[in-house]
């Protein structure tokens, strides 16, 4: 049996979380009745096994309500099955607690600053809209993109997703060539991009920056209209990149310990000074392969 609770204030939202935390059976929906700006930190969500909680921001007219975390507040998830749907998150924090936890996001929106912290795993199952927002996936946290088509939707203003942790696309591998998740906001990546074979993370942001690690045999695509600055990138486990209709400014070395790692292209490559594509030495101590680009613009079509 699912019980629906309502909340229009911080106190009522806290009471709903406390009620769900105390239950040993059933499920709960907390339906927001208006926009809420947190005046105190919400209780940590700590659910019993088999007691799911959904926080729903639908306003009943096709729109959504917003939870404003006032810069440092938001949801802390200690344990349990938690879904946040049809909710705007603004100046908020989504945080793991004392143990590894996962929160599912569906049809939500981000505005202003949103942080994902403390080892939380976010499982996105429906598109998220970014409205003049900077979203930071902190070190130790994971953002799992599980949407075919437009996963990150550009709404109002200019938005950026900063990945310092792990951004993964694993749940769409069975979709084959259709398993493409499109990222339509600017991205700064210094963490890990992990894409399963048969899947694609496709970046359309006007100004992207990548200098982390690529893992898995799926594709990282720099796509039409995007400008991408590449620092030092470690490509592992057969990782591949595709460039089509994009500009890539390569400022560092792309290092691959695996000969299967590769870049295919139909693009314009602009190298800032001298840059290298390096293959790391194998256990047989074969020398590293270095290809240095010295021209400022190279056009290619493969």
In angstroms, the CA 65 to CA 231 distance is 39
Q: Is the Cβ–Cβ distance between 157 and 131 less than 8 Å?
A: yes
pLDDT in tens, 234-286: 888 667 888 888 999 888 887 776 555 555 554 444 433 333 334 334 443 33
Asked whether the predicted pLDDT for residue 151 surpasses 50, the reply is: yes
Residue among 159, 77, 149 nearest 114 (CA): 159
Q: In what helix (H) or strand (E) does residue 14 lie, and over which residues does it extend?
A: helix 10-22
Q: Considering the domain boundaries, does residue 193 fall inside one?
A: no
For residues 104-123, average pLDDT: 94
Q: Considering the domain boundaries, does residue 113 fall inside one?
A: yes
Q: Considering the domain boundaries, does residue 69 fall inside one?
A: yes
pLDDT in tens, 43-69: 999 999 999 999 999 998 889 999 999
Q: Is the Cβ–Cβ distance between 90 and 112 less than 8 Å?
A: yes
For residues 112-134, average pLDDT: 95
| Residue labelled with tokens 């004392």 | 98
Greater pLDDT, 28 or 215 = 28
**pTM, 2 dp:** 0.85
Structural domain range at position 69: 1-126
Count other C-beta atoms under 10 Å from residue 104's C-beta. 19
Q: Which residues contact 122 (CB under 8 A, 6 or more apart)?
A: 94, 102, 103, 104, 105, 116, 137, 141, 142, 143, 144
Q: Considering the domain boundaries, does residue 17 fall inside one?
A: yes
pLDDT at res. 276: 38
Count other C-beta atoms under 10 Å from residue 216's C-beta. 25
Residue among 139, 201, 130 nearest 161 (CA): 130
Mean pLDDT value across the chain: 83
Work out how many domains the chain is built from and give that number. Answer: 1
Q: Considering the domain boundaries, does residue 234 fall inside one?
A: no
Phi/psi of residue 271, nearest 5 degrees: -100, 130
pLDDT in tens, 10-19: 999 999 999 9
Asked whether the predicted pLDDT for residue 166 surpasses 90, the reply is: yes
pLDDT in tens, 173-210: 445 446 899 999 999 999 999 998 878 899 999 999 99
Q: Considering the domain boundaries, does residue 154 fall inside one?
A: no
Greater pLDDT, 284 or 106 = 106
Q: Which residues contact 245 (CB under 8 A, 6 or more apart)?
A: 223, 224, 225, 266, 267
- Taken in order 173, 87, 165, 45, the sign of the CA dihedral is negative
For 92-100, the CB contacts below 8 A with 24+ separation are: 92/67, 92/68, 93/69, 93/117, 94/120, 94/122, 95/120, 96/120, 96/121, 96/141, 97/44, 97/46
pLDDT at res. 119: 92
Work out the percent of the chain whose per-residue pLDDT is above 90. 63
Q: Considering the domain boundaries, does residue 272 fall inside one?
A: no
Q: Considering the domain boundaries, does residue 76 fall inside one?
A: yes
Q: Which residues contact 32 (CB under 8 A, 6 or more apart)?
A: 6, 7, 8, 13, 55, 56, 57, 65, 67, 87
Angle at 151 between CA 299 and CA 116, to 5 degrees: 105
Question: CA-CA distances (angstroms) from residue 11 to 5, 264, 292?
Answer: 13, 54, 61
């Amino acid at each position: 049996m699912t019980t629906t609770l309502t909340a229009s204030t911080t106190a009522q939202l806290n009471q709903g979380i406390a009620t769900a935390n105390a239950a040993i059976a059933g499920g709960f929906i907390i339906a927001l009745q208006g926009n809420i700006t947190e005046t105190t930190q919400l209780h940590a969500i700590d659910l019993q096994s088999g007691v799911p909680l959904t926080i729903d921001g639908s306003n009943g007219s096709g729109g959504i309500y917003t939870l404003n975390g006032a810069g440092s507040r938001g949801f802390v998830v200690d344990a349990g099955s938690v879904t946040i749907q049809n909710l705007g998150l603004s100046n908020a924090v989504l945080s793991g607690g004392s143990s590894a936890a996962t929160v599912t996001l569906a049809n939500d929106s981000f505005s202003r600053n949103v942080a994902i912290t403390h080892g939380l795993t976010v499982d996105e199952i429906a598109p998220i809209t970014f409205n003049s927002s900077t979203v930071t996936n902190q070190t130790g946290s994971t953002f799992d993109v599980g949407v075919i088509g437009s996963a990150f939707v550009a709404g109002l203003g200019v938005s950026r997703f900063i990945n310092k942790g792990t951004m993964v696309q694993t749940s769409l591998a069975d979709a084959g060539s259709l398993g493409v998740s499109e990222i339509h906001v600017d991205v700064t990546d210094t963490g890990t991009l992990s894409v399963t074979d048969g899947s694609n993370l496709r970046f359309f942001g006007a100004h992207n920056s990548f200098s982390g690690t690529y893992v898995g045999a799926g594709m990282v695509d720099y796509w039409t209209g995007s400008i991408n600055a590449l620092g030092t990138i470690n490509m592992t486990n057969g990782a591949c990149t595709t460039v089509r209709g994009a500009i890539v400014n390569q400022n560092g070395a792309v290092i691959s310990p695996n000969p299967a790692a590769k870049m295919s292209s139909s693009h314009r490559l602009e190298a800032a000074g001298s840059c290298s594509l390096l293959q790391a030495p194998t256990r047989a101590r074969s020398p590293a392969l270095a290809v240095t680009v010295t021209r400022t613009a190279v056009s290619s079509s493969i």
